[in-house]
C-alpha cells in the first residue's frame, strides 16, 4: 500500500514537472513577446525594457524556467504587474474557497452517485431505473454556468432562500459560509454526480450478474443487501479509474462556478489575470491548478488501491 | 439446403428494408439523438440564409420584450430578436466544435494507432504523456492561450483539440492493441504487409465503431466547452455571437428577463443531449458490449 502511494507520488511529481513545461511553453510559443502582451502594442521600448528587466524576460527560456520553478520551491512567485500584489500570498488566500468548493462537490457527488447508481442498477429493467438514467443523461448535458443561472433564478430570485453571490470564509462565520456555498456546490456537483451515477450504474449492472452475487444470495443475502455489501465496493472501482477525466472537468467547472457566483477563488483570479494579460500570474496559477488536479488524482489512486485488494497485493509483491 | 438458403436471402432483404425500424427498437436513444441534433443543425444551417429578424439590428426601444407573436423568443438587452440571435449563435458554436473534434479524431486516432503498433516501452511513454494531456482541462489551456493569443475562436479551437487528441488516442490504443494480437494480423505480417497497411487498412476498420462513438461524445463535450469559454468571455468575440456569449450578456438580467437566459441555455442543453444520445445510441447499435464506455 505504501509502495503504491510512493509510486503514484513520484509519478505525480514527474507529471507536475512535465505539466509545468507545457504551461511555460504554451505561454511563450504562440504569443511572441510576453512583455508586449502585458503592456499592449502601444508600449514604448523603454517601458518594455524595464518590464523585461524586472521579470527577467530578457533571459533565455531555460534560465526563465529554472528561476520560475526555483521560485515555486521557495514559495516566491514574484509580484503581479498590474495588481501590485505578491502572487504567492494572493494564491494562498484564494486556495480556501476553491478547495472548499471542489472537495465539497466531490464529497456530495461520490456518495450520491453510489446511492443513485446502485438504486437504478437494482431496478434497471423497470421504469424507475431507466428514468434515473434519463435524468442523469440530462444532467450531463446542462452546462455549469447555465445551471448556476437557473439556480440563482429559482433559489435566490424567486424563493429568496439563498444568496446569489458573495463568499464568507468559514473561519469568520461558518453558518453564513455554508449558506453562501450551497448553490455553488450544488451547481458543481450535479454534473459530476450525473457522470459518476452512470458509471456506477453500468458497472453495478455487470456486477449483479457475477457469480459471487449468486453465492451471496445463496448465503441468505437479499438482492439489496448483496448489492450493498459486495457489489458496491466493486462498482466503486471504475469511479476511481475514470475519475481522472472527471477531476479535470471538476476543476474547470470551478473556474466557471466561481465566476458566476463571485467567489474569490483561484478560478476567478485566473480569469481576471487572463483578461488583464498578467502572463506571469497566469503561469503560476495554471501550475497551482494542475497541482490540485494531480493531488486529487493521487487521492483517487490511493482509494483505488484501498478498494481493490487485487491491485494492493499485486503491487505489494513487486 | 436450398430452402434454408432462400430463407436467409429473404431475411437479408427484409432486414435491409427494416434496418431503420430495427435500429430504432434496439436503441431509441439514437432516434432521439438524431432528431435533436438534426433540429439544431437545421436551424443553424437555415440561419445562413434566413432568420426571422435581422440578428444584428439594434433597436433599444424594443429592449427586453417578452416572447410574443412577432418575437417568438422575445428580444435581448439591445432589442435584437433573440431567436435570430440564437440561430446565428449556433454557427460559431458548431463550427468551433466541429473543427476541434475533427482535429481530435484525425490526430488522436493516428497517435493511438501508432502507439498500439510500437513497442511496449513506447507504449508506457505514450500513456504517461497522454495522461498529462488528459489531466489538463481544455478550459485551463484555453485560458493560458487566451493570455497570449488573445481571447477568440483560435484559442478555443487549439485548446479543445489539445485535450481531444490525447483523449481519443487513449480510447483508441487499447482496442487497437487487441486487434493487433489477432491471428489475421499475424497472417498479414507473414504476407509481408507494411506496418502502415496493417494499422490503417486492418486495425482501423475494426475499431471504427469506437472512433465513431467517441466522435459523437466529443461533439457533445466540445459544445459544452465552447459555450463555457464564450460565457467566460474567452471564446467568441463581438461581432461574432455564440450561445455562451448570449448567456454572458443575459447573466445580469436574469431577474428582469428570465426567458433571456432560459431559452439560449436550453439550446445548449438540447444540442449536448442530442450528441450524447447519438453516441449512446450508436454504441448500442454498433457494439452492444461496448455501450456506455465512451469518455468525455
Residue B28 domain-assigned (yes or no): no
The answer to whether B228 contacts chain A (CB < 8 Å) is yes
Mutate to test the interface with B, among A17, A24, A26 (most CBs of B within 10 A): A26
* Closest partner CB to A245 (pick from B128, B134, B280): B134
User: With an 8 Å Cβ cutoff, are B137 and A252 in contact?
Assistant: yes
B254 touches A at CB < 8 Å: yes
pLDDT exceeds cutoff 50 at A286: yes
Residue numbers in B near A273 (CB within 8 A): 147
Instruction: Specify which of A75-89, A198-212, B150-164, B193-207 reaches the highest per-range mean pLDDT.
Output: B150-164
B139, B144, B295 member nearest A27 (Cβ): B144
Residue-level pLDDT, tens digit, chain B, 296 residues = 444 444 555 556 666 667 667 766 777 788 888 888 888 888 888 877 777 767 776 776 766 666 776 666 677 777 677 777 888 888 888 999 999 999 999 999 998 888 887 877 777 778 777 777 777 788 888 888 888 777 888 888 988 998 889 888 888 888 888 887 778 877 877 887 777 788 888 888 888 888 888 898 889 889 988 988 888 888 777 777 888 888 888 777 777 778 778 888 888 899 999 998 888 888 877 765 544 444 33
- Under DSSP, the state recorded for B147 is H
Chain B residues with CB-CB distance to A25 below 8 A: none
Are the Cβ atoms of A245 and B220 closer than 8 angstroms? no
Nearest by Cα to A140 from A70, A209, A190: A190
Task: Tell me the shortest Cα–Cα distance from A248 to chain B, in angstroms.
Answer: 5
* Chain A residues lying within 8 Å of B143, measured CB to CB: 255, 270-271, 274, 282, 286
Contact B131 A249 (CB under 8 A): no
A137 to B277: CB separation less than 8 angstroms, yes or no: yes
Query: Nearest-CA neighbor of A288 among A260, A239, A251?
Result: A251
pLDDT of residue B15: 61
Per-residue confidence (pLDDT) for residue B39, from 0 to 100:
87
- C-alpha angle with apex A153: A152 to A158, nearest 5 degrees? 115
Nearest CA in chain B to A278: B147
Q: Of the spans A247-251, A269-273, B47-51, which averages the highest pLDDT?
A: A269-273
- Put simply, the chain B residues between 143 and 182 with a CB less than 8 A from any chain A CB are 143-149, 151, 158, 167
Which pLDDT belongs to residue A148? 87
**Residue B177: inside a domain:** yes
Contacting residues of A for B277, CB less than 8 Å apart: 137
User: Among residues B134, B296, B107, which one has the least CA distance to residue B218?
Assistant: B296
Q: Is residue B29 part of a domain?
A: no
Buried residues in B182-213 as b, exposed as e (16+ CB within 10 A): eeebeeeeeeeeeeeebbeebbbebbebbbbb
Asked whether residue B37 is domain-assigned, the answer is no
Q: Is B295 on the interface with A (CB under 8 A)?
A: yes
B193 inside domain: yes
Q: Residue A169: exposed, middle, or buried by beta-carbon count in 10 A (0-12, 13-18, 19+)?
A: middle
Among the listed residues A102, A103, A99, A79, the one whose alpha carbon sits nearest the alpha carbon of residue A273: A79
Alpha-carbon radius of gyration of chain B:
23
What average pLDDT does the segment A86-114 reach? 85
Q: How far is CA B52 from CA A284, B63, B70, in A?
A: 48, 17, 9
> In chain A, which residues have their Cβ closer than 8 Å to the Cβ of B296?
245
The pTM (predicted TM-score) of the whole model is 0.83
Chain B residue with the nearest C-alpha to that of A254: B139
CATH no. for residue B269? 1.10.3720.10
Taken in order A127, A132, A137, A138, the sign of the CA dihedral is positive
Determine, yes or no, domain membership for B106: yes
Residue B16 located in a structural domain: no
How far apart (Å, rounded) are the C-alpha atoms in residues A191 and A239? 14
Contacts of A22 in chain B (CB under 8 A): 132, 136
Mean pLDDT of chain A: 78
| Distance of alpha carbon A122 from alpha carbon A204, whole angstroms | 8
β-bridge partners, A86? A79
Interface touch B232/A256, C-beta < 8 Å: yes
Taking CA–CA distances from B264, the nearest residue in chain A reads A146
Q: In chain B, how many domains are there?
A: 1
Residue B167: list chain A partners with CB under 8 A. Answer: 245
Q: Is residue B15 part of a domain?
A: no
Report yes or no: B277 at the A interface, CB cutoff 8 Å.
yes
Secondary structure (3-state) at B75: strand
Buried/exposed code over B273-288 (b: 16+ C-beta within 10 A; e: otherwise): bbbbbbbbbbbbbeee
Measure the CA–CA gap between B234 and A245, rounded to whole angstroms: 22
Share of residues in chain A with pLDDT > 90 (%): 0
**pLDDT tens readout for residues A17-57:** 888 888 888 887 765 566 766 766 666 777 777 777 766 67
* CB of B135 less than 8 A from some CB of A: yes
| B220 contacts on A by Cβ (under 8 Å) | 140-141
Q: Which residue has the higher pLDDT, A78 or B197?
A: B197
Element (H, E) at B90: helix B82-117
Shortest CB distance from A279 goes to which of B140, B147, B295? B147
- DSSP output for chain A: -HHHHHHHHHHHHHHHHHHHHHHHHHHHHTT--HHHHHH-TT--HHHHHHHHHHHTTTS-HHHHHHHHHHHHHHT---B-SSS-SBHHHHHHHHHHHHHHHHHHHHHHHHHHHHHHHHHHHHTTTSHHHHHHHHHHHHHHHS-HHHHHHHHIIIIIIIS--S-SS----TTT-HHHHHHHHHHHHHHHHHHHHHHHHHHHHHHHHHHHTSHHHHHHHHTT--HHHHIIIIIHHHHHHHHHHHHHHHHHHHHHHHHHHHHHHT--SHHHHHHHHHHTT-HHHHHHHHHHHHHHHHHHHHHHHHHHHHH-HHHHHHHHH-
CA B31 – CA A163 distance, rounded (Å): 41
Q: What is the model's pLDDT at position B64? A: 64
Domain span at B177:
55-291
Distance from CA of A221 to the nearest CA of B (A): 29
Amino acid at each position: 500500500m505504501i509502495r503504491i502511494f510512493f509510486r503514484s507520488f513520484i509519478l505525480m511529481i514527474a507529471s507536475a514537472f512535465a505539466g509545468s513545461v507545457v504551461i511555460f511553453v504554451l505561454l511563450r510559443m504562440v504569443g511572441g513577446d510576453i512583455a508586449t502582451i502585458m503592456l499592449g502594442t502601444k508600449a514604448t521600448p523603454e517601458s518594455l525594457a524595464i518590464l523585461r528587466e524586472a521579470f527577467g524576460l530578457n533571459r533565455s527560456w531555460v534560465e526563465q524556467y529554472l528561476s520560475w520553478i526555483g521560485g515555486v520551491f521557495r514559495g516566491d512567485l514574484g509580484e503581479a504587474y498590474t495588481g501590485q500584489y505578491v502572487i504567492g500570498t494572493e494564491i494562498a488566500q484564494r486556495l480556501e474557497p476553491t478547495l472548499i468548493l471542489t472537495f465539497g462537490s466531490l464529497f456530495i457527488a461520490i456518495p450520491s452517485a453510489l446511492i443513485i447508481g446502485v438504486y437504478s442498477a437494482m431496478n434497471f429493467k423497470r421504469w424507475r431505473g431507466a428514468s434515473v438514467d434519463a435524468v442523469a443523461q440530462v444532467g450531463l448535458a446542462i452546462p455549469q454556468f447555465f445551471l448556476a443561472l437557473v439556480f440563482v433564478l429559482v433559489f435566490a430570485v424567486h424563493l429568496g432562500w439563498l444568496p446569489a453571490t458573495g463568499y464568507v470564509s468559514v473561519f469568520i462565520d461558518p453558518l453564513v459560509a455554508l449558506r453562501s456555498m450551497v448553490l455553488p456546490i450544488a451547481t458543481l456537483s450535479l454534473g459530476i454526480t450525473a457522470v459518476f451515477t452512470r458509471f456506477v450504474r453500468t458497472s453495478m449492472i455487470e456486477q449483479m450478474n457475477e457469480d459471487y452475487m449468486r453465492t451471496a444470495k445463496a448465503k441468505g443475502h437479499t438482492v439489496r443487501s448483496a448489492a450493498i455489501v459486495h457489489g458496491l465496493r466493486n462498482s466503486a472501482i471504475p469511479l476511481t479509474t475514470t475519475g481522472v477525466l472527471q477531476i479535470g472537468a471538476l476543476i474547470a467547472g470551478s473556474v466557471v462556478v466561481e465566476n458566476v457566483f463571485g467567489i474569490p477563488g483561484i478560478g476567478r483570479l485566473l480569469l481576471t489575470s487572463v483578461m488583464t494579460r498578467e502572463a506571469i500570474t497566469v503561469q503560476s496559477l495554471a501550475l497551482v491548478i494542475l497541482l490540485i488536479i494531480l493531488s486529487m488524482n493521487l487521492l483517487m489512486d490511493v482509494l483505488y488501491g484501498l478498494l481493490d485488494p487485487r491491485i494492493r497485493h499485486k503491487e505489494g509483491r513487486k | 439446403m436450398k430452402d434454408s438458403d432462400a430463407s436467409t436471402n429473404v431475411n437479408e432483404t427484409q432486414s435491409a428494408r427494416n434496418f431503420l425500424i430495427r435500429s430504432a427498437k434496439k436503441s431509441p436513444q439514437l432516434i432521439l439523438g438524431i432528431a435533436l441534433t438534426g433540429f439544431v443543425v437545421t436551424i443553424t444551417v437555415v440561419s445562413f440564409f434566413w432568420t426571422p429578424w435581422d440578428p444584428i439590428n439594434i433597436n433599444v426601444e424594443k429592449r427586453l420584450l417578452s416572447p410574443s407573436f412577432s418575437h417568438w423568443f422575445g428580444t435581448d438587452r439591445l432589442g435584437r430578436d433573440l431567436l435570430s440571435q440564437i440561430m446565428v449563435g449556433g454557427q460559431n458554436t458548431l463550427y468551433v466544435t466541429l473543427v476541434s473534434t475533427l482535429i481530435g479524431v484525425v490526430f488522436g486516432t493516428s497517435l493511438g494507432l501508432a502507439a498500439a503498433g510500437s513497442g511496449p516501452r513506447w507504449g508506457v511513454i505514450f500513456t504517461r504523456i497522454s495522461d498529462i494531456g488528459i489531466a489538463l482541462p481544455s478550459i485551463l489551456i484555453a485560458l493560458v492561450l487566451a493570455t497570449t493569443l488573445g481571447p477568440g475562436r483560435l484559442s478555443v479551437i487549439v485548446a479543445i483539440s489539445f485535450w481531444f487528441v490525447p483523449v481519443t488516442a487513449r480510447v483508441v490504443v487499447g482496442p487497437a492493441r487487441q486487434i493487433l494480437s489477432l491471428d489475421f494480423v499475424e497472417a498479414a505480417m507473414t504476407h509481408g504487409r507494411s506496418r502502415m497497411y496493417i494499422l490503417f487498412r486492418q486495425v482501423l476498420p475494426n475499431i471504427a465503431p469506437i472512433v465513431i462513438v467517441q466522435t459523437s461524445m466529443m461533439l457533445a463535450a466540445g459544445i459544452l466547452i465552447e459555450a463555457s469559454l464564450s460565457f467566460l468571455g474567452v471564446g467568441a468575440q463581438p461581432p461574432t455571437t455564440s450561445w455562451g456569449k448570449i448567456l454572458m450578456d443575459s447573466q445580469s438580467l436574469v431577474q428582469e428577463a428570465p426567458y433571456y437566459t432560459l431559452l439560449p441555455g436550453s439550446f445548449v442543453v438540447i444540442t449536448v443531449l442530442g450528441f450524447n444520445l447519438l453516441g449512446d445510441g450508436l454504441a448500442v447499435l454498433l457494439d452492444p458490449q461496448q455501450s456506455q464506455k465512451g469518455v468525455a
